[in-house]
Amino acid sequence: MNKLSKDFGTTVDVEKVGSVDMLNNTTNFDDFNDKIDKEKYGETKRKLSLRHVALMIIGQSIGTGLFIGLSSPLMTSGSLSLFIGFLFWACLVVWPLMQCVAEMCSFLPIKGSFLHYSARWIDPAMGFACTMIYLYTTLMFVCVEVVAFASVIGFWTDANPGIFIAVGILSILFFNVFGVNWYGEIEFVSSMLKVLLIVGLMLFGLISMCGGNPKKDSYGFQHWSEGGLFKSYLVSGSTGKFLGWWNVLIYAAFACGGPDILGMIAGEVSQPRKVIPMAGRRAYIRIYLFYFGGIFFMNSLCASNDPALVAASATGKVGAAASPWVIGVKNVGVTGLDSLVNAVIMSAAWSCGNGFCYAATRCAYSASLAGYLPRFFSKCLKNGAPIYCVIGSLLVACLSFLSISSSTAQVFEWFINLATTGLLCTYFVIWLCYFKFRRALDAQGFDYKKDTYYQPPFFCQPYMSYFGFFLTILVLFFNGFWIFFPGQFSVSNLFTSYFAPAFFIVLYFAWKFIKKTHIRKDSEADITTGKEAIDLEEEEENEWIASQPKKTGFIYRAYDKFSDICFN
């Protein structure tokens, strides 16, 4: 094996090292065709550092939903319903699932991660269904965020939104062509802006509720109860209040992302056995900072029945004008923050679009490695960017232009609605992969304590995982509950609510029938192919890092200390 360069590319494909012969570059299954010619197509590079991942894992998937989109469930369900619903989903699904992904991906950080795990550990048909659903979902979410980016700019100008949709698509294309390290730097800066904004708004909310505002109004928690802590939804009484809370839970399921992104970056993370466990340990920051702190202080600033909030929703205002945060800030007599908040919201929308584009391109790349898509999609530039996947993803993103015309906007809305439950289908498969992973470790003689690189807190496994899995299924199954109430039913609503799970089942059985795949036993689930090559790669990478001379100037030492505190 050749000595590693700082790009950490080896003479063997890092993912495809055979479990019997390292140079086989493939698993040994007849029903999973994962052969790839690295010399012909190239490969992605491990260039995401600890610094990148530390910020990305906190803020990468936080978009317009937290700053603007919360106005809808706030008005519909009430302040306490909103708070409890988001915290419930974040603590009992997102956090334990992040722990599961960190545990699996630190053990076997291959390209494709859970998309290939599902094929290698469960059933190739499951891998195909999960890959196609996730690809469609991420592509549609790119469209969602690009349209949101353009609409937020509409806060400042009445220019044709098609101009800004084009700007969003072209800028995402630009940064994705230049390799994963550019993506990491952009997401590092964007996540930092989002963290600074939410921390700033939380501090403002705390000071303001204690009387530190131009009106000298120590309003405390009065806005929580002004519009109702729990609002009835669809029916009256306790049942209606429960349905209001359940409606928040469904919104949270679509708005709270993260575990899937951690899985997708696993194949391009430098020092994965160090960085991925860190990401798992720090997942709680996302919950405390964005969901607990953010929603708590937003409810303190703005009541769910605030006239300005209701009017903004009724008139279809965009950007900061529709944000409960900005409305609450204005209510206490502070002006001039609109444009600043809108600028950060704009960057958040673009960042999420960029993140979903990254996920879509790596999903397409993984599909090509697995034989689900033509092999030419595996072609990578020298910097590791899968160029045809990037171009293809951005061509699909041009569907965003349908939102401009009223005659085609409905078609665009259909595309989006059909993708909403796709992420829950992906979560369902990730849970299955984790349960299979734990059983396969036992069946194949691994010592869990000694042979794994990250063990979640004792209270997380296995009971929180089982509950999170059960809750995911419940939300997936009952996400369209509202259409079965009087006056709510329509065929289009039924179709959009349950298209993704039905399509997932069709994909699974179609691939199983065509390819004659079989369900893996615990003893034959391939949890080792590629691991030896990654072990060697990381060992040489650590040696290369240790061999680099450290700069000893005061500024460099101060930066190293700051970086160590923040990111290590």
- Report whether pLDDT(6) > 80: no
Look at residue 1 and tell me whether its pLDDT is greater than 60.
no
Q: Helix, strand, or coil here: 2?
A: coil
| In a domain? residue 311 | yes
pLDDT digits (tens, 9 = 90+) for 309-321: 898 888 877 667 7
- What is the rounded average pLDDT of the residues 399-410? 75
First to last CA, the chain: 31
pLDDT of residue 402: 84
Q: How high does pLDDT run on average in the chain?
A: 84
pLDDT class of 61 with cuts at 50, 70, 90: low
C-alpha span between 568 and 538 (Å, rounded) = 18
pLDDT band at 23 (very low <50, low <70, confident <90, very high): very low
Least trusted range by pLDDT, from 156-170, 386-400, 412-426: 412-426
- For residue 428, give both structure tokens: 């369902």
Cβ 364 vs Cβ 393: under 8 Å: yes
**By C-alpha distance, which of 329, 312, 73 is closest to 201?**
329
Burial of 516 (0-12, 13-18, 19+ CB in 10 A): exposed
Report if residue 159 sits inside a domain: no
Separation CA 495–CA 512 (nearest Å): 24
- Domains of the chain: total: 1
In a domain, 140, yes or no: no
Mean pLDDT lowest for which of 13-27, 163-177, 213-227? 13-27
Residue 170 within any structural domain of the chain: no
Is residue 120 a contact partner of residue 518, using CB atoms and an 8 Å limit? no
| Residue 326 in tokens | 């900005």
Phi, psi of 162 (to 5 degrees): -60, -30
Residue 567 lies in a domain: no
Q: Tell me the C-alpha distance between 345 and 153, whole Å.
A: 10
Closest by Cα among 390, 395, 336, 381 to 363: 390
Gap between the Cα atoms of 504 and 134, Å rounded: 10
- pLDDT tens track for 236-264: 999 999 999 999 998 888 777 788 888 98
The domain that holds 235 is classified in CATH as 1.20.1740
pLDDT for 20 equals: 37
What percent of the chain has pLDDT above 70?
90
The 10s digit of each residue's pLDDT in 112-123 is 889 999 999 999
Q: What are 125-163's pLDDT values in tens digits?
A: 999 999 999 999 999 889 888 888 888 888 888 888 889
Residue 520 structural domain? 44-131+178-339+430-443+453-529
For the stretch 341-366, pLDDT in tens is 888 888 888 888 888 899 999 999 99
Please give the full DSSP string across 444-474, using - where no structure is assigned: TT--HHHH-S----TTTTTHHHHHHHHHHHH
User: Can you tell me the distance from the alpha carbon of 272 to that of 96, in angstroms, rounded to the nearest whole number?
Assistant: 19
Q: Which pLDDT value is given to residue 411?
A: 67
Residue 461 lies in a domain: yes
In a domain, 319, yes or no: yes
pLDDT of residue 41: 83
Residue 90 lies in a domain: yes
Residue predicted with more confidence, 338 or 176: 176
